[in-house]
Structure 1
Amino acid sequence: MKGEMKGWSRLRLMRRLNRRSNSGLDRRLNCKGSRGKFGDRGSVSVFFVLVLSGFVLFNGLLIDFARIAAFRKQAELAVMSGTRSVLAAYDPELYRRYGLFARGGDPADDLFRSALDGNRPNRAGGAFSLLDIEWSASAAVESRPLASYDVLRRQVMEEMKYKAPIDLSIELISRWRGVASAAKEAGEVVDRLEELRKAYERREASLDEAMKRIVEAGDALGQPLEAIVPLPAASLVGTRSAAVAVDLPDAVLMYTDYVSKRSADESRAAAYSAAYLAWEERKRAAEAEEKEFDEPPPPMEPPQYADVIRSYLDGVESVRRPLLKLDQAKERADGLLNQAQQAIEKAKLADQEMRRLADAEGTLASDGEAGMAEEGTDSGLWSAEESALRDESGAVYEQLRQSMKELTLGDEWFSGISEEVEKQRQDGDQYALASERMTETLAAIPGSSGLSARLVADGERLQSASESYRSAYGDSGSATQARRAMIEEHRASDAERKSLEQQAGEEWKQAAESLMTLTGSGGSGQQEDSQETKTFEQLDKLYQANKKWNAANDEAEERYGQSSELDDGREQALTKSGGWLSALTDAATGARDRLYGSEYVIARFSRIEPSDVREALAGQAELPSSPELSQTEYILYGFASAAGNVTAAYSEVLAARLSIRLVEGLVESGRYGNPLLVLAAATLYAVRAAAQDMQSLLTQGTIPLSKYASVATTYTDYLRLFLLLHGGTDNHWSRMAAVMEQESGLAFDRLYTYVSGQATASVTMWFFPRLASALGLSGGWGGTVNGDRYEATYQADDAYQ
């Protein structure tokens, strides 16, 4: 209290002094400038005037600074409000149909300026306004059109973040995942079996090639002497009357008679020659004695057996002529045997590849499935039937691995057949050597007389070699038959397998070609076809324009269709099913973009009903040709006709069913034992079951997911799976934008989703604007001083996403 009293006392004292100072000032002013007794008292009043002036100046600056701070805040909020006001004018129809936001309504500049003016202080009725804000310039710049992939994708993700049927998606993923893992595992088994089958076919084709060359080699060496060397061998003991020798036994057995007849003719010729010489001698003696010589010359007798001898020798030459050509035949036979050895080596390599496939380490379970099991999100979702499927299929796969090993022949088998080929070559060498010796002996027959023993020995050697070679080799040879039996031993199941493959191929071709009839069922007349064509041409132009606007790289357009060839169709089906697990795993582990995108397409776009397809296939009605009714299929496949897109979709459904049923087929066909027979039987089972599934889809609208999973699946379920599998590409986003543009009549490249508002405002400065400018204070306030007004520019940006 004492302190407070002292304070009040000092305050009263200061007031008295102030009053005295003021009265002294008045007195000094009245003294007309003369200094009096109190002249020095005015200095106190001047000091207070200076202090008061500084105080007033400082407070004026503070007031202006406060007003400027309030002005800046007000202007900034006004620009932000104006930007939001522009975005508030969105296209309601676009949002209603597709859940997307884009600018619509009045021009952005007008909305922005209207919002700015609405944020000015109201001076109605002459009311005092602390801030007299004036807007001198404003502009609202729109950007980021909905045509952009990033913008469209973000809005779709935002739209589906709360609206996507997450529970249904999880149900779809959990439902398909067990089947997808089984399909992928079966696909790996089938891939290995298919590689085994191809290696088996190569091996058997090489063995067939080897047998063909072996038989040709046997025939090449055995056939040239068939006419002259009898089979079985003839006896060369005894003689035959010399005549035309038509074969080797004739040439040998007629030789003795030939020698006898030739000797007789030679003796006849010698007797005639002696008689003629005696006659000439008598004639010369008579002429020497100049006697008359009337004796005629002895009559000349022609050779008695000349024709027979000539015929025999000609026959021997005809027998010898094939023997001369046997060297060429031997060269050709050796070349064919070399080719046979090469084919055997190829078969051996194919067999080694089969052994490698059979001995391949590791399980056939997929990495994706293993990853799910590690996360604990897989096995708990499987039904008892699916668990039974895994157990049964695992047992079948192990059995198949064992039977794959049994299907191989082994290196020893090929070594044995190679040794037999070399034995055939060696037997051919002996055969050719015997023929060569016989050729030399036959060449010595003319004029000879002591070749009987040699002819018999060489003839028996040649007949023996010929009989041995020709009875063993060639098309009907014993060795050839034994080789064929050895090869056919492991082909016991080939006939049944090929029969199953033929049935499966025919039924698959029928199923695939029945779907292809859809491509000719859209539209009933020229006018409708023309309208459909024009609509799809416009859609394609919008699609291409969107790709060009996004400067998207040209992606390879996937073409979806079902091959009528079973091997190609099965390979396509298994390849696609191999991607199911990855797609479902990605969707289950956080790859939300593709999941949300697929659900958005299913929720917002149309698709063909199975009943329409059934009626089109039955010829009862025509497939709806308008793209308005098959938007989902167009987004997925991008064909320029509704029929083409629907055909692609149903072909992919057929492929999906084939891959699923193939899992069951492997289990059902495990009893066949032979892995290739199991593959053929499983394929036939899968083809028939897949065809029945397609019939069920068309007639009932649902397909049982699997024999081991009693869950009904619909056409929409498969579209969702396919969207997860190969959706989400730039091409798909462009087609999605094209469909929405065509349906709404809006150009997405002019539908903006981002606004940048900018405006310049000013406010009057009440105190010392020139002083603030001179002192440079306005620079610290973030604006400029023009005359007596403070001016600043503000910008605000906002977007829908």
Structure 2
Amino acid sequence: MRRFLYAENGAVSVYLILIIVPIFLFQAVLIDFARIKAAEKESESAVQAASRSVMSSFDSDLQKRGLYGMVLSQENSEQLFSEVFAKNLSSGVTANAFHFIDTKAVDGGMRVTPVYALASHAIFEGQLLEDMKLKGPIEFSLEIADKFQKSGVKAPFQMGSQFAKNAAEVEKLIEQREDALDEAWHSTEVMYARITTFHLYYQKRISDLDAMANRIGLHTIDELRIEINQVKDQLQSLSNAIHNMDLSMSSMMTASPQSIQAALSARSNLEQQYSTLSQKLNDLEALVQLIIQYTALIVSTKLEVAVNERDILQLQQSIEPVLRLAKQKNDDIRAKLTAIGGSSTSTTSDSQGVNDVFQHVSLIGDNYFYDYQISVASIASLFTAFHLKIESIALYTAANTNQANAANDAYWTLVNDFYSKKSSIEKARMDANDGTKAKKQTERNKIQAVLDKAKQAIGGCSFIQSQSNDEALYNKLQGDTSNLESANVQGFYQKYRQVNAQDVLIGNDVAYDLDKAESTSLRAMDILGVITQASEMLRDELYVNEYALTKFNYRTYGLEKDRSGQAKLSNELVDPGSHQLANQEAEYLLYGFSSCAANISSAYAEMFSLRLAIRTVENLLDPEKELLNVGSPLLVLLVAAAQGAVEAFADMNALVKGESVELSSKLSAAILKLTYKDYLRLFLMLHSDNTKLMARMQALIELETGKDLTQAAAYIQTNATSEIRLWFIPQMMKLFNGSDLLGCKVVGTQCQFNRTAIVAY
């Protein structure tokens, strides 16, 4: 063994082995490492290509509407993905040829996972924006908003809107002040009537008490009762004497005539005395009853005066707070007029004329309220003094009677003087108010007459040729609420709202009607203030709105004409005029009610309101001078609105026929004509609510195409597994598992790659 170890035979071979083997091992590892990296890149490209192939299977019906969604089933999408992935690997090119990189797909390692669908508002909106950017119809919308600025209507619109707000606020304050003054005067009239009654009543009562006191004189009830007893004793004695005389006369049958005559004469004297005493007794007893009545009347008078005083004080207490309220509203009117006067310095000359009405608004001086309160308080105070005077009188002597009459006349003189002066002022005030109210009601009636015509002109959905199936279509869109036990309570709209974690309330919180003249006029003027801000809308919101008017139909779709007089045709791949829900889709998108009539009526009512506002502003620019002098801003507005309503009704008749109507010949410097569709565009700007709008658009798309957008994938994640066979020393390559060096996992003689791709339209 020792000799073998120290022998030099074969030393060169061993040396070469020690040198060559490491080099060979390094080369083998290097070759497999290079193959792995090439296979890794190949797998990455293959999974991307396969993912794009899956996404290329988008639905053609949705694509015609500018939307891209992949509606393949899970099985079909994974099968397509597997096929394309395998064919993009080296082993899929030529199966039996030699490949330096022999990458192949691993069975069961393919997976396609939809992440987001077109039901997502973020995805849906993103695709809308891309579609509208390419086609550019939004420029027309921007042009309209720009024309509103350049046409010169901004200042009149702002003036009209601000005037309406100021008129409504001032008129409300005036009505509150006048109502308070009316209430105060009503209570004052009640006070006057009651005090008049009290004065006459107590005047007679004092006179009666005085007369009773004169009859009673200085007698007291105790003295009278003693005297009554004495008279009764005397009567008893006389009665006994008469009785005894009757007995003695019965025994004088044989007496002389003279004796009998003397006896009869004596008996007659006794009867006369008895009669006199009886009359005296009656007088005394009557006097006692008079004293009792007198005493009772004094007590009842004091009680009645106390009750009447409380009544008067209650009236005073009801008048004073109402007067304070009236004064507060008067002060508010003064402050509001001051603010309007300050802001009017920056207004245009056109608005100065109509704003002159605020200078004629009636303001009441502070002395009016001060004198009113002082007078009412003084009347109540004098009646209290009368009460105290009555309370202090125990016996109505001449002096006390005079004092009581003086106290009774004092409050009456004051209230009579106050009422005679005040009644003429209040009558003039109330007559003026009644006249103004009558004029306002006349104008309201004129407006209401036009509104009634407008409501009839809406005509429901009778203009739509095919509407027999509308109810069923709306049940699909909004859900069938007629039968709560039905499984179809939820509609497409609710589904897409829930998918995006939003409420499922029906409608757009925008409901216009033409019921009340005044509220319709004031609300119409509010629209003008919002219209002037239309150009400040965000671009994305305008794109979404324009998509709604481009892809869907509306009431006058097919009626509008181009410059050559021909019907305007849609350039869309799918003609909106062929949709199931005919001539009402844009209105549904805007208002979101569950019937054609509700949506069409809301659009008509809002459009009429806008035209009414514009026509009202035109008439406000040239108001009648006599009308301004009335001092009622609301009356000025109603007169302008009454004329504007007639003109607006004529405008609506043209608009619903598909004709264009000039925005305003009086307000704008340049001619700007708008159609029914243009007004819908403006309303979409005014009531921008993209989440509800997009949910309704998604519902309409599903209704028309039958495609559930929750299943239309627009964003997917794919996973694939491939492998490459290691040529040299797999165990050595396995040492690199778990590190980022290889990029694959060594399993036996194979190195496997797990790759993920995320692809979206």
TM-score by length of 1: 0.72
Matching of residue 95 in structure 1 with residue 63 in structure 2: yes
Residues 34-433 of structure 1 mapped to structure 2, 5 A cutoff? 43=11, 47-48=15-16, 50-96=18-64, 98-104=65-71, 107-121=76-90, 124=94, 127-137=97-107, 138-177=110-149, 179=153, 182-224=156-198, 226=200, 294=263, 295-296=265-266, 297-298=268-269, 299=272, 325-326=304-305, 328-360=307-339, 391-396=348-353, 399=356, 402-404=359-361, 407-428=362-383
Contact 2:181–2:322, Cα closer than 8 Å, also in 1: yes
Contact 1:184–1:581, Cα closer than 8 Å, also in 2: yes
Matching of residue 727 in structure 1 with residue 681 in structure 2: no
Distance 1:43 1:648 in 2: 105
Correspondence for 1:15: none
Residue 123 of structure 1: how far off its partner (Å): 5.6
Distance 2:405 2:492 in 1: 88
SS at match of 2:67: coil
Contact 2:357–2:628, Cα closer than 8 Å, also in 1: yes
Shift in alpha-carbon separation, 1:247–1:128, aligned structure 2, 3 A: closer
SS at match of 2:371: helix
State how many pairs are aligned: 674
Correspondence for 1:595: 542
Residue 102 of structure 1: how far off its partner (Å): 0.6
Contact 2:717–2:757, Cα closer than 8 Å, also in 1: yes
Residues 393-792 of structure 1 mapped to structure 2, 5 A cutoff? 393-396=350-353, 399=356, 402-404=359-361, 407-428=362-383, 440-441=395-396, 454=398, 458=401, 473=415, 477-488=416-427, 493-517=432-456, 521-522=460-461, 531-540=469-478, 541-554=491-504, 557=507, 558-562=509-513, 564-582=515-533, 584=534, 586-587=536-537, 591-609=538-556, 627-669=581-623, 671=625, 672-673=627-628, 676-699=631-654, 701-706=659-664, 707-709=666-668, 710-773=671-734, 780-792=741-753
Shift in alpha-carbon separation, 1:768–1:421, aligned structure 2, 3 A: same
Correspondence for 2:564: none
SS at match of 1:681: helix
Per-residue CA deviations over 1:58-97 (Å, capped at 9, x if unaligned) read: 333333222222221111111101111111111122111x
Distance 1:567 1:49 in 2: 109
Distance 2:629 2:355 in 1: 13
SS at match of 1:763: strand
Larger radius of gyration: 1
Shift in alpha-carbon separation, 1:184–1:641, aligned structure 2, 3 A: same
Shift in alpha-carbon separation, 1:741–1:348, aligned structure 2, 3 A: same
Counterpart of 1:634, as a letter, is Y
Contact 2:518–2:638, Cα closer than 8 Å, also in 1: no
Shift in alpha-carbon separation, 1:412–1:472, aligned structure 2, 3 A: closer
SS at match of 2:553: coil
Residue 145 of structure 1: how far off its partner (Å): 1.2
Whose RCO is larger (CA < 8 A, sep 6+)?
A: 2
Contact 2:724–2:750, Cα closer than 8 Å, also in 1: yes
SS at match of 1:727: coil
Per-residue CA deviations over 1:643-694 (Å, capped at 9, x if unaligned) read: 1101011111222234434444443337344585232122331243144223
Residue 572 of structure 1: how far off its partner (Å): 3.5
Distance 1:123 1:425 in 2: 114
Counterpart of 1:683, as a letter, is L
Distance 2:131 2:346 in 1: 39
SS at match of 1:758: strand
Shift in alpha-carbon separation, 1:556–1:729, aligned structure 2, 3 A: farther
Residue 221 of structure 1: how far off its partner (Å): 2.2
Shift in alpha-carbon separation, 1:253–1:773, aligned structure 2, 3 A: closer
Per-residue CA deviations over 1:696-729 (Å, capped at 9, x if unaligned) read: 2323533332331242222222211211122334
Contact 2:103–2:724, Cα closer than 8 Å, also in 1: yes
Contact 1:145–1:750, Cα closer than 8 Å, also in 2: yes
TM-score by length of 2: 0.75
SS at match of 2:632: helix
Counterpart of 1:553, as a letter, is D
Contact 1:532–1:625, Cα closer than 8 Å, also in 2: no
Per-residue CA deviations over 1:725-759 (Å, capped at 9, x if unaligned) read: 22334322211111110011111111111122221
Overall identity of the aligned pairs, in %: 22
Any stretches of 5+ residues in structure 2 without a counterpart? Answer: 219-230, 249-257, 479-490, 561-577
Per-residue CA deviations over 1:550-583 (Å, capped at 9, x if unaligned) read: 331355841413252234334543455444445x
Please tell me the root mean square deviation across aligned C-alpha atoms, in Å: 4.9
Bigger mean CA offset, 553-562 vs 81-90: 553-562
Correspondence for 2:573: none
Shift in alpha-carbon separation, 1:430–1:222, aligned structure 2, 3 A: farther
SS at match of 1:793: strand
Bigger mean CA offset, 163-172 vs 345-354: 163-172
SS at match of 1:99: coil
SS at match of 1:627: coil
SS at match of 2:689: coil
Correspondence for 2:221: none
Distance 1:646 1:253 in 2: 85
SS at match of 1:759: strand
Residue 479 of structure 1: how far off its partner (Å): 2.8
Residue 149 of structure 1: how far off its partner (Å): 1.6
Contact 2:163–2:355, Cα closer than 8 Å, also in 1: no
Bigger mean CA offset, 423-432 vs 218-227: 423-432
Shift in alpha-carbon separation, 1:777–1:61, aligned structure 2, 3 A: farther
Distance 2:754 2:98 in 1: 25
Residue 478 of structure 1: how far off its partner (Å): 4.9
Residue 438 of structure 1: how far off its partner (Å): 9.7
Residue 537 of structure 1: how far off its partner (Å): 0.7
Bigger mean CA offset, 699-708 vs 774-783: 774-783
Shift in alpha-carbon separation, 1:69–1:181, aligned structure 2, 3 A: farther
Correspondence for 2:568: none
Counterpart of 1:358, as a letter, is L
Contact 1:90–1:103, Cα closer than 8 Å, also in 2: yes
Distance 1:732 1:159 in 2: 17
